[in-house]
Amino acid sequence: MTPEPPQPRRIGRYLIDGPIASGGMASVHLGRLVGEAGFSRTVAIKRLHPELAAAPEIAESLLDEARIVARIQHPNVVATVDLLVEDEEAFVVMEYVRGESLARLLRAARARGEPAPVPIVASITCGVLHGLHAAHEARSESGEPLGIVHRDVSPENVLVGVDGTARLLDFGIAKARGRLSTTRGGQLKGKLPYMSPEQVLCAEVTRRTDVFAAGVVLWEALAGQRLFDGADEAAIVTAVLERRIPPPSSLAAHAPAALDAIVLRALERNAEGRYPTARDLAIAVEDAVPLASPRALGEWVEQLAGEVLARRDARVAAIESASAAGPSSSAGAVRLVAAAAHDGEAAPTAPGALATAPGALDTAPGALDTAPTTPAGARQQAALAADAPESGMPSGIAVAPATHAGEVHSARAQTRPLLVLGLGVLLLGSAIAIAAHWSRRSPPGPEDAARSAASVAPAPAAITAPAHAASTAPAQLAPGGPPSAPAAPAAPAAPAASADPPERSSPSAPPADPPPRAARGARAPAPATRPPAPATRASGAAANRCTPPYTVDRTGIRRLKPECL
């Protein structure tokens, strides 16, 4: 029975799967960046071997590599995405490149008996040289040159992608200013077959040291064999310092003689005789032979490493499908719990409830994102999600419980502007309704004026009231109309059959004049009452002629009636 593969390890936002490559100090694993709102990305994560992770000097070299590569921005250098430290172990997150190392590609070509085409070799070499030049020219945040020297340029550290781009990687032993780890005197770092003579002799290394190593890679790719080899390390060192270097065209018929002088100058044992920069060597190669197009280079990689890439693609697809449901369900649970907390409900805190039942949590996302409180349907879905069985996702994918105080505070802060806006709209609507009500209200009718006039005490006889004495009468104004005529005597109460409302609704009744406009600080004149109908009010007019015993003229002054003296 085949054992189940180990579950991915979660570190921060990343899921770390099994290794895809391994070297002397570290291994490279497939990884998955799981972000918010369903964002995800496949990455490569480099970690030290367990037996080396506890060594402080080696651990510092991995941290140095991350900081150095972060300062290099070039398409021919594998980019560093992030640096993680957990339980005193460092992890370097890099971009994932679908491709294969140049070392494996050259071995596959030799196994087929097909030498690497010269345009392919030239294109790969020039890409690596341009990436090297970018590293040599890198500067710190303050603008100071970092003085980076890779010191480990080799076919194993050249990654050729199916996108037709060659990339340089592994700056773990690179020399640079400000490194945490330093090379002790007499200590060799790098691969002996690709070291320059000054590097073997532990002398000062410069960018020309990397030019020598790139020259070795170019020579071996053209000639199809190792340049400096030997039975042991001593023999290799002797070959680097003393062995005669033949031109590649003398060993491989397909190698053009135009490249011989270029390669031999790059391999000068005296550093001053080499190309001063990697860019100068790349320009010389580009001028000597045509370069393969990115499409041709990508097809060559797929032809030689198709089976390996297919197996790796299957692993990547498995990782992506395993983590596809995790971010969306977690994000939906966080939104739901935050809304429930804002509505005063108890939020579920079990991690299993946040990581399961993605369908129940992701329904109607607009309601969860815009409503300041949780709808009843969403609260029912949350209860169902809490009782749902656990899914097949790894436990590492579950997000932290959303009842954290910071998340609840964030949800309340997001809904507070909506509440303020709703309250403002409510107040504005109320003000508009009140204004419309008062604007439609008509002036009081004659019966209101009669009741108002009857409530005023009679003035003393033979005395004319001054204008300021009328301040107790209510102001009755008709908007935009002229002042009314003097008020007629009020009529006694009439039966319901002859009341005013039917009379006012009659189309033949003449409209009453609007009341006079009151002067500032003076009593507004009492509105004139409509004369009673002759048929219904003639008998009562004589008896109530002196009620009230005065009239009001256009200026608002009360004048006593002569017949009432």
Active site residues: 152
Backbone angles phi, psi at 194, to 5 degrees: -120, 15
Backbone angles phi, psi at 190, to 5 degrees: 125, -175
CA distance 192 to 189: 9
Burial environment of residue 536 by CB neighbours within 10 A (0 to 12, 13 to 18, 19 or more): middle
Number of alpha carbons in the 13 Å side-chain half-sphere of residue 335: 25
Residues paired with residue 10 on neighbouring β-strands, in sequence order: 15
Place of tokens 């073997």: 200
SS3 at position 250: helix
10 Å Cβ neighbour count for 378?
A: 22
Residues paired with residue 91 on neighbouring β-strands, in sequence order: 47, 84
Length reported for the chain: 565
Structure tokens at 298: 């990508």
CA distance 175 to 318: 38
Structure tokens at 390: 């656990």
Whole-angstrom CA distances from 396 to 31, 95, 103, 107, 486 are 13, 22, 36, 39, 93
SS3 at position 550: strand
Structure tokens at 147: 């003085």
CA distance 13 to 23: 26
Q: Which residues contact 448 (CB under 8 A, 6 or more apart)?
A: 527
CA distance 518 to 522: 6
